[in-house]
Amino acid sequence: MSVTLADVAARAGVSAATVSRVLNGNYPVAGTTRARVLRAVEELEYVVNGPASALAAASSDLVGVLVNDIADPFFGIMAGAVQAQLGPGGDGDAGPGPRMAIVCNTGGSRERELTYLTLLQRQRAAAVVLTGGAVEDEEHTAALSARLRRLAAAGARVVLCGRPPLPEPGPVTLTFDNRGGARRLTEHLLGLGHRVIGYLAGPAARTTTRHRLEGHRAALAAAGLAGGHERLIVHGAYDRAAGYDGAIALLDREPGLTAVIAANDTVALGVCAAFRDRGLRVPEDVSVAGFDDLPFAADITPSLTTVRVPLQEAGAHAGRLALGHDKAPADGVITCPTTLVPRFSTAPPPEKA
Amino acid sequence: MSVTLADVAARAGVSAATVSRVLNGNYPVAGTTRARVLRAVEELEYVVNGPASALAAASSDLVGVLVNDIADPFFGIMAGAVQAQLGPGGDGDAGPGPRMAIVCNTGGSRERELTYLTLLQRQRAAAVVLTGGAVEDEEHTAALSARLRRLAAAGARVVLCGRPPLPEPGPVTLTFDNRGGARRLTEHLLGLGHRVIGYLAGPAARTTTRHRLEGHRAALAAAGLAGGHERLIVHGAYDRAAGYDGAIALLDREPGLTAVIAANDTVALGVCAAFRDRGLRVPEDVSVAGFDDLPFAADITPSLTTVRVPLQEAGAHAGRLALGHDKAPADGVITCPTTLVPRFSTAPPPEKA
DNA sequence: CTGTTAGCGCCTTCAG
DNA sequence: CTGAAGGCGCTAACAG
């Protein structure tokens, strides 16, 4: 059927072992033999059988990357950065050769997350990177931890990227300072003079949601505004529809609203669309802020005030961690800073009529 | 080390062959034996060794998906749709079980595209889906065709999604009607009264670029405007920076410009930002249109006139073709229609002063 | 530096 | 319906 190592060996007049050695480059081989083998490989168009070598070597060059939604640039950017490290042209070229990323779309489903983890273990993945916020559900967290421990026991490196750390002894974790970022964002709005600020939070049971919300509340509390704001907090999905609907709901609930903070930039886009449809100008009538600083944030009109999250950097770092090229800190947790990016979608509230 | 089939067999008091049969469900096994085996699997937390079964069965459950840039929603949406068909919960559940998508980021590099194809062949991928526009380079096209033929010969199903067909005998192809969409878009602008229309095309040597440009030119020619417009065509990347810079360049070259068509929505965003910075209002002073109808197009201000490309549908279809669930037409080419979506970024040109 | 010898863990005839 | 046996293609000791 397909050409095998033995065929190449025969053609080059050497043993299969020798061919294997030149192909893997992990063992000294004479220059002339080497050349002969390489030529045979060319002539026969030989391509290594990955499964066979994975079996024999008890290791594979596959790395799993779990994301909630690959169509969302938030995840796309991280996945792309991870992958850039692993693949040809990346950091993975050093050492045994390029790894391939298996991107798994969980769609935010707990169940599918576990299923994929099992499938990855079945592939004997060399590493697994889990990106994005986790669902807050004790049962699921326990199941997840167990699965990850099993993976680690099977020799896979596990990296959490843009997630909160799991209970000890958890995997290496790159976590975003969502709380601090949210706090600074709310402070920015307060500093502009806003006193009635709506908050469109993400799905209720998500860590990302909770942390951002905590930062928001902390800023309000520090400004002595804690009390009345709970009714200005609305939960929804991380999409534009949630932003649109949420903005309308907030407006109906509190017409005196002068600013809205959205769970992320995509939601903020929906918010802006809703205000536009209601005849409100941003930022003259109402300020809007997002989170993440996705590429479009700088380009829309008005450009969006948001909080930059280092998705690219974190993804790249996660990739190197997955390759074992970067060393993890002692406690296994790396916090990535987030930074406020003030633009033109926020301004002082309108003068009171 | 890890628990194997034999361990499960021992525990269940059956032979390894029997365990294999219940796990693959492709052979009759007595109900009670079956149950006993399944229990042993549970108790031992057994996970099949993918590489080993791939080797023995000479088949794998991996599917490669090549994209230019996974951080770009254009590709994210297609990749997500492909993957949704393959993975757990998708169409792939029927039959031998879920497949896993290996998403490969070529970054638009010819070389990396070929490398990835080899890596996928090494994994003995069950199928390969290539998405997005191809580079127009005869040498590369030949190399690509050869590689794809080899893959097909090795038993992989090959599907082109959002690409022009390759010379016969090429793989199954889902292609977008870029030419028709572009033509209708330009006609829309002409119909509004525009006569000086800039065109920011994508990278020169891309099929997508060429086809869209051809549609644009066809519309101009039909309106008797063919001549003067060549200098209003500027090539650039498919990103916002290209849009920004291109718009500035066009403006300098032709201040009388009343409309700009961008290579895609992302580029259009850059164009809008440039006009905003130059103090021009969209659409009052100048109209802007995009292509693709990415989710944000409807939400930005003003909402973007664009051409909808059925990324989701095409991706899903490609996934089913890759699984072998959908049958390809006789000639192997399926053309996906594109539709004009007029919104508020286009309007009649300003009155002449 | 190179060849020989055993498996890696599973699937798949072939008997029973 | 089930067990036994061989081999998928490659790597990893071991000798030489």
Task: Return d(Cα A191, Cα A349) in angstroms, integer.
Answer: 11
Q: Which residues, other chains included, contact B206 with Cβ-Cβ below 8 Å and sequence gap of 6+? A: B133, B134, B135, B136
pLDDT in the model for residue B336: 96
- The two tokens of residue A345 are 């979608």
One-letter amino acid of B43: E
Task: Return d(Cα B274, Cα A292) in angstroms, integer.
Answer: 23
Convert chain A into a string of H (helix), E (strand) and C (coil): CCCCHHHHHHHHCCCHHHHHHHHHCCCCCCHHHHHHHHHHHHHHCCCCCHHHHHHHHCCCCEEEEEECCCCCHHHHHHHHHHHHHHCCCCHHHCCCCCCEEEEEECCCCHHHHHHHHHHHHHCCCCEEEEECCCECCHHHHHHHHHHHHHHHHCCCEEEEECCCCCCCCCCEEEEECHHHHHHHHHHHHHHHCCCCEEEEECCCCEHHHHHHHHHHHHHHHHCCCCHHHHHHEEECCCCHHHHHHHHHHHHHHCCCCCEEEECCHHHHHHHHHHHHHCCCCCCCCCEEECCECCHHHHCCCCCCEEEECCHHHHHHHHHHHHHCCCCCCCCCEEEECCEEECCCCCCCCCCCC
**Token match 């895609």: residue?**
B264
Which residues pair with residue B340 across a beta bridge? B307
Q: Select from B93, B104, B105, B304 the residue whose CB has the most chain A CBs within 10 Å, as the one to mutate to test that interface.
A: B105
> Average pLDDT, stretch B35-62?
93
Q: Which nucleotides of D are covered by protein (CB under 7 A)?
A: 1-13
Q: Could you give the residue range(s) of every CATH 3.40.50.2300 domain in chain A?
A: 178-308
Which positions in chain B touch A288 (Cβ < 8 Å)?
A: none
pLDDT digits (tens, 9 = 90+) for B169-181: 889 999 999 999 9
Query: What is the CA B57 to C1' D2 distance in angstroms?
Result: 20
Please check the confidence at residue B1 and state whether its pLDDT lies above 70: no
Region of poorest pLDDT, from A299-313, B21-35, B145-159, B282-296: B21-35
Q: Which of A76, A104, A118 sits opposite B70 (nearest CB)?
A: A76
Whether B33 has its CB under 8 Å from any CB of chain A: the answer is no
pLDDT in the model for residue A88: 86
Neighbours of B55 (CB within 10 A): 20
- The two tokens of residue A115 are 């299923």
pLDDT in the model for residue A204: 87
Q: Do B73 and A69 touch (CB under 8 A)?
A: no
Which positions in chain A touch B75 (Cβ < 8 Å)?
A: 76
- The two tokens of residue B190 are 């002409």
A-B contacts at Cβ under 8 angstroms: 189
Which residues put CB within 7 Å of chain C, the nucleic strand?
A 13-18, 21, 27-30, 32-34, 55-56, 58; B 1-2, 4-6, 16-17, 20-21, 23-24, 26, 48-49, 52-53, 55-57
Q: Do B272 and A301 touch (CB under 8 A)?
A: yes
Residues of chain A with pLDDT under 50: none
Q: Do A240 and B295 touch (CB under 8 A)?
A: yes
Neighbours of A233 (CB within 10 A): 17
The pLDDT mean for chain B works out to 92
A45: left (phi over 0), alpha (psi -120 to 50) or beta: left
Query: Strand D: which residues 228-287 of B lie within 7 A (CB)?
Result: none
pTM attached to this predicted model: 0.93
Question: A133: distance to nearest CA of chain B, Å?
Answer: 18
3-state secondary structure of B330: coil
- The two tokens of residue B211 are 């086809």
- The two tokens of residue B122 are 């090494």
- Fold classification of A178-308 is Rossmann fold (3.40.50)
Q: Which of B80, B100, B266 sits opposite A69 (nearest CB)?
A: B80
pLDDT in the model for residue B353: 52
pLDDT in the model for residue A226: 77
pLDDT in the model for residue A273: 93
A150 class by beta-carbon count within 10 Å (0-12 exposed, 13-18 middle, 19+ buried): middle
Task: Return d(Cα A220, Cα A236) in angstroms, integer.
Answer: 21
DSSP notation for B93-115: GTTT---EEEEEE-TT-HHHHHH
Which positions in chain A touch B55 (Cβ < 8 Å)?
A: 49, 51-52, 55
B85 touches B118 (CB < 8 A): no
Rounded to the nearest 5°, which phi and psi values hold at B250?
-65, -40
**Architecture of the A1-46 domain:** Orthogonal Bundle (1.10)
Cα-trace Rg, chain A:
25
B16 contact to strand D (CB, 7 A limit) = yes
Q: Could you give the residue range(s) of every CATH 1.10.260.40 domain in chain A?
A: 1-46
Neighbours of B139 (CB within 10 A): 8
Give all strands (DSSP E) within B242-302, no chain letters.
259-262, 287-289
Which positions in chain B touch A122 (Cβ < 8 Å)?
A: 47-50
Which positions in chain B touch A71 (Cβ < 8 Å)?
A: 73, 76-77, 79-80
Q: Taking Cα atoms as reference points, which of A21, A125, A3, A112 lies closest to residue A64?
A: A125
pLDDT in the model for residue B26: 82
> Average pLDDT, stretch B317-329?
93
pLDDT in the model for residue A173: 96
Q: Select from A103, A121, A309, A344 the residue whose CB has the most chain B CBs within 10 Å, as the one to mutate to test that interface.
A: A103
Task: Give the alpha-carbon dihedral of B267, B270, B271, B277, to 10 degrees.
Answer: 180
Q: Do B124 and A50 touch (CB under 8 A)?
A: yes
Q: Which helix (H) or strand (E) holds B176?
A: strand B172-176
3-state secondary structure of B128: strand
Q: Select from A105, A110, A129, A286 the residue whose CB has the most chain B CBs within 10 Å, as the one to mutate to test that interface.
A: A105
